[in-house]
Amino acid sequence: MNRLFRPYLTFLLMGSILTFSACKDDDEPGPEDEQEVITAVTISLTPTGKGQDTEATISTLTGTPVQNAPLTLRPGTEYTAVVTMTDESKNPVADMTAEIRNERDEHLLVYTFTPDAGSNATVSVNITDMDQNNRPVGLESTVTTGAGIGNGKLKVVLKHQPGGLKTGTNTTAGETDVDVSFNVIVTN
């Protein structure tokens, strides 16, 4: 009798391991919190002479990038430009600029202005901040408009160039963290 009973007992025992371990189901997924996401890029321009400050933000919190207002510049003017980056998904909104500044020897902002068809606008950007190795960073710059007027796009690309990839002149190396294009209007 005992010999017959023993194997069944073993089966039973194994079954009970299953039932007791299969009943933890009270976990809830929390909000997704990926560290250091840049969701918005702001460029603020202050004329070196007299004139109006101007600022524009591109945000992707809703999915596709949206620019809050066009960047309106005057022709033939020099501006001091500052770029800030934030994570608007955090409450309060997190400033990501400081992180980039901390690792400025691995980062480079690349600016490219492309006038729209038929536009005479020209915009040039000169990076003024340097990293520890005296290579440009691009969070601060001087933006100068030419005499022509019209519309165009100012593309701002943030490159992450770790592990000695940064040379200061190589604008394709590394991983792209930010790639946005601001609508620019150069008008009197």
Residues that bind other proteins (CB under 8 A): 6-8, 10-11, 14-15, 17-18, 21-22, 24-25, 27-36, 38-41, 58, 60, 64-65, 89, 99-100, 102-103, 106, 157, 160, 162-163, 165, 172-180
Say whether 51 sits in a helix, a strand or coil: coil
The answer to whether the beta carbons of residues 62 and 88 sit under 8 Å apart is no
Residue 112 CB contacts under 8 Å (≥ 6 apart), including other chains: 154, 155, 157
Which CB, 22 or 117, lies closer to other proteins?
Answer: 22
Minimum Å distance from CB 31 to other proteins? Answer: 6
Comparing CB distances to other proteins, the nearer of 135 and 160 is: 160
Closer of 109 and 186 to other proteins (Cβ): 109
State the nearest-atom distance from the C-beta of 181 to other proteins, in Å. Answer: 9
Nearest to 38 by CA among 163, 170, 179: 179
Q: Checking DSSP bridges between strand 140-145 and strand 150-160, what pairing results, if any?
A: unpaired
Distance, first Cα to last Cα, the chain: 104
Shortest distance, position 84 Cβ to other proteins, whole Å: 13
Nearest distance in Å: CB 63, other proteins: 8
User: Which residue, 84 or 122, has its beta carbon nearer to other proteins?
Assistant: 84
Q: Give the residues across from 175 on adjacent strands.
A: 160
Nearest approach, Cβ of 112 to other proteins (angstroms)?
11
Query: Per residue in 19-49, is it b (16+ CB within 10 Å) or e — as a string?
Result: eeeeeeeeeeeeeeeeeebbbbbbbbbebee
CA dist 118 and 120 (Å) reads 7
Closest CB to other proteins among 10 and 133? 10
